[in-house]
Chain A
């Protein structure tokens, strides 16, 4: 079974630009979560999508948005990039499902997209 794939793996942008990152979950997984990882802030939750609906959201400004398609693939978009947005963006997929099962559903992480904002 193929793992979680993220594209592109590396990205360089300049301040003010916008960027779109893509995540393809494991086949059959309906939940996709996004995380930002930086040396200073560690791993921070951005949002989670399940069956094309945002199910939970972290404490990030509205410049960060996402969506999920009917095939469970997900994209996240960052508009008006700032230097502080430079980070490793990780995507994780899981089965999702019923409320009780969601809590311990194992999350499988992709390799991440390294975004550098100049």
Chain B
């Protein structure tokens, strides 16, 4: 069965500091991985996706993620946090063993301090 674990339900960084949100997945076959962001009272917006074309994936708003098969990780990073990055972030996996459903992690709420 596929699963996603996000380490840290809350992460707090200062404006301008590095953002690192951790995600580990479990899948018996190469998965497709996604990062979404959710702002209050809104739906989810796709930040980036890994589809096996390249291990380093660049997304919107300056975010990127690196797929590391040996570590079963897909951590999300941004070199310099901005106040507008404060939101909840979800890592998700989709793979053959899961059918056509997307399995989401529990989410990490990012706080950005001025």
Q: Interface of A with B (CB < 8 Å)? A: 4, 31, 33, 35, 42-43, 45, 48, 50, 55-56, 58, 90, 92, 102-104, 106-112
Contacts and interface: CB of A to CB of B under 8 A. Distances in A.
A116 B42 CA distance: 16
Nearest to B96: A103
Given A110-B43, A111-B42, A111-B43, A104 B103 contact: no
B87 to A, nearest CB: 14
7 contacts: A35-B104, A43-B104, A56-B99, A92-B44, A92-B102, A103-B100, A107-B46
A45 B103 contact: yes
> How would you classify the secondary structure of chain A's contact residues: helix, strand, loop or mixed?
strand
B44 A90 contact: yes
Interface residues of B, number: 23
B88 to A, nearest CB: 10
B82 interface: no
Contact of B44 (A31, A48, A109): A109
A48 B100 contact: yes
Contacts of A42: 104-107
Interface string B45-61: 11001010000000000
Contacts of B105: 42
Contact of A104 (B36, B43, B45, B94): B94
Interface in B79-114: 90, 94-96, 99-107
Contacts of A90: 43-44
A107 B104 contact: no
